[in-house]
Amino acid sequence: MFDSISLIGKTTREIVELLAPHVDRTFRGQQVARWVIDRNAASFAEMTDLPKTSREELALRFSLDEPRVLESIASSDGSRKYLFGLSDEVTVEGVTMREGAKATFCLSSQAGCAVGCTFCVTGALGAGRNLRPDEMVGQYRVMLRALDPEIERVNLVFMGMGEPLLNASNLGQALDVLSERVSLKRITVSTAGIIPGIHWLAGLSRRPKLAVSLNAPDQARRVQIMPIAHRYPLAELMAELRAFPLERGRRITFEYVLIRGFNDSAADARATAKLIRGIPAKVNVIPLNEDADHFPALLRPENEIVNRFAIQLRDAGLTVTVRWSRGEDVAAACGQLRGRQLAAR
């Protein structure tokens, strides 16, 4: 008996090559690839334009295994949090957030995170293994299948559990597969500032959008809340970002988590604007998602402070959005649902 090979996480070309010895006609591989990638089929039985005998034989040799939904919780604001179980009993999270006819899927790239940002529950839970391409693509497939049919466009962000650029090889394969269905213009990879990973991303012939978690305008404070800055100092990170190749109309997104009394002053806003000046950029100002269990001393600023900070950045000539928390009632911040599950155990 042989182990079945998963077709999830494979590109059209790879599926066609894998199936070539097992189909009666050359176009069958293309048919299967369309069902897997374009139609998001969950089983070979759905592939009704293939002969029944072919479907049965393919089901013996290949699989369409996906992460299992262990928990799915809808928020009052329209977002939904998923806890996925993988084949080795590891758990990861995914989130869908709806805005009108558009939805954004937040995907995990690792089952934990070794970067250790002090304001992130995933970092507090510690490191976990890299996810395979099929496990990353599988999150998208499961959440897509549950999507409201009224949604017209889906954006993808690798801002879930893990540091995507510490799993670059698997991430690259997942991007190749996902970009057959979702334009790379609508896929964002977020990093804590892994300079070799950013350099790798810059070298790709086709790139997703880049987001960088900044969170402080100076090295001293960035190190306090983002230990990875010891290895990849702010000055070197900014030099790498200034050299990053951007397609026409593209910008680097800087994510700035506001923590009360730490990085939310008027002087911090001025210093941040000065740091970013000259880079085609937009800034996502993110009020801290508080978590009394994992970082009780860190608090969210008052809304007035958040708005003042954003206005100061805007007045300095930057494009700014405030990313108010979504799904607080379902623990939608990165790692919170998994953290609560582990605590319950």
272-285: pLDDT as tens digits: 999 999 999 999 99
Structural domain containing residue 270: 68-344
Residue 162 and residue 181: Cα distance in Å, rounded? 23
Residue 88 and residue 106: Cα distance in Å, rounded? 22
Give strand pairing partners of 62: 5
Residue 4 and residue 21: Cα distance in Å, rounded? 15
Per the CB < 8 A criterion, the answer to whether 240 and 203 are in contact is no
Domain identity same for 75 and 29: no
Domain identity same for 25 and 91: no
Q: What is the pLDDT of residues 296-336, one digit of tens each?
A: 999 999 999 999 999 999 999 999 999 986 655 555 455 55
Per the CB < 8 A criterion, the answer to whether 219 and 229 are in contact is yes
Look at residue 8 in the predicted model and tell me its pLDDT: 97
Look at residue 149 in the predicted model and tell me its pLDDT: 84
Domain identity same for 132 and 186: yes
DSSP state of 161: S
Domain identity same for 232 and 252: yes
Find the Cα–Cα–Cα–Cα dihedral 326, 327, 329, 332, rounded to 10°. Answer: -110
Domain identity same for 20 and 88: no
Look at residue 26 in the predicted model and tell me its pLDDT: 86
- Angle at 97 (CA atoms; ends 131, 42), nearest 5 degrees: 55
Last residue of a domain, one of 42, 63, 84: 63
pTM recorded for the entire structure:
0.91
Residue 4 and residue 307: Cα distance in Å, rounded? 54
Domain identity same for 47 and 123: no
Last residue of a domain, one of 46, 63, 80: 63
The residue type at 189: V
The total of structural domains in the chain comes to 2
Domain identity same for 74 and 35: no
Domain identity same for 49 and 80: no
Last residue of a domain, one of 16, 32, 63: 63
Q: What is the CATH number of the domain that holds 319?
A: 3.20.20.70
Domain identity same for 40 and 162: no
| Residue 335: how many other CB atoms lie within 10 Å | 26
Look at residue 327 in the predicted model and tell me its pLDDT: 52
3-state secondary structure of 209: strand
Q: What is the mean pLDDT of residues 202-221?
A: 97
Residue 163's contacts (CB-CB under 8 Å, 6 or more residues apart) are: 109, 110, 113, 114, 115, 191, 192, 194
> Chain-wide mean pLDDT for the chain?
92
Q: Among 6-10, 118-122, 270-274, whose mean pLDDT is lowest?
A: 118-122
Q: What is the CATH number of the domain that holds 18?
A: 1.10.150.530
Domain identity same for 248 and 339: yes
Q: What is the pLDDT of residues 48-61, one digit of tens each?
A: 999 999 999 999 99
3-state secondary structure of 81: strand
Q: Between 149 and 29, where is the model more confident?
A: 29
| Residue 181: how many other CB atoms lie within 10 Å | 16
Supply the residues annotated as catalytic.
93, 334
Domain identity same for 260 and 324: yes
Domain identity same for 89 and 229: yes
